[in-house]
C-alpha cells in the first residue's frame, strides 16, 4: 500500500493506492532453449549458435546503464561471431528476439 499526499498551502489531499510489483526470476529465463552463447566470460569474441532457429533473430547488447552498444539482425540459422573486444570490461545484457520469443542473457567481458 502506498500513501500519496498532495499539499497546497494549508490544505492537503491523501490517497491510498495498491501497487503490484513483478520480480523476474533471472536473466537466464528463456524461450530460446537451444541457443548457445559462448565463451562466457569472453575476452572479446562472443559466438551465438542459431543453427536450430530458422527465421530472423535480432541481437542487441546493452551496458548496465541501459545504453544500446550493439545491434544486429541475423536472417539465417548459423554460427555468428560478435566482436566486443573494444568494449570496457564488465557485464552486459544480450537481448535476443524473434517473431515469437525473447531472451535476456548476461555476458561478461573480461
Report pLDDT digits (tens) over 6-31. Answer: 777 777 777 776 655 544 444 544 44
Domain count, the chain: 1
State the pLDDT at residue 102.
86
> What CATH number did the domain enclosing 78 receive?
2.60.40.3080
Residue 38, all three cell numbers: 559462448
Question: Is 69 exposed, middle or buried, given 0-12, 13-18 or 19+ CB atoms closer than 10 A?
Answer: middle
- What 8-state DSSP symbol labels residue 42? B
Q: What is the spatial distance between Cα 75 and Cα 11, in angstroms, rounded to a whole number?
A: 61
Residue 73: domain span: 25-109
Q: What is the pTM of this model?
A: 0.70
Task: Establish how many alpha carbons lie within 13 A of residue 3's alpha carbon, considering only the half-sphere containing its beta carbon.
Answer: 4
Taking only the tens place, the pLDDT of each residue in 91-107 is 999 999 988 788 899 99
Q: What is the spatial distance between Cα 15 and Cα 5, in angstroms, rounded to a whole number?
A: 6
Q: Is residue 2 part of a domain?
A: no
Residue 52: closest CA among 82, 78, 81: 78
Whether the predicted pLDDT of 53 surpasses 90: no
Amino acid at each position: 500500500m502506498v500513501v500519496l499526499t498532495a499539499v497546497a498551502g494549508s490544505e492537503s489531499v491523501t490517497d491510498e493506492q495498491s501497487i503490484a510489483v513483478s520480480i523476474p526470476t533471472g536473466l537466464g529465463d528463456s524461450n530460446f532453449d537451444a541457443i548457445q552463447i559462448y565463451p562466457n566470460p569472453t575476452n572479446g569474441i562472443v559466438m551465438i549458435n542459431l543453427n536450430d532457429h530458422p527465421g530472423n533473430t535480432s541481437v542487441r547488447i546493452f551496458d548496465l546503464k541501459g545504453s544500446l552498444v550493439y545491434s544486429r539482425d541475423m536472417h539465417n540459422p548459423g554460427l555468428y561471431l560478435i566482436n566486443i573486444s573494444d568494449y570496457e570490461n564488465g557485464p552486459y545484457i544480450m537481448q535476443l528476439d524473434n517473431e515469437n520469443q525473447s531472451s535476456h542473457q548476461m555476458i561478461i567481458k573480461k
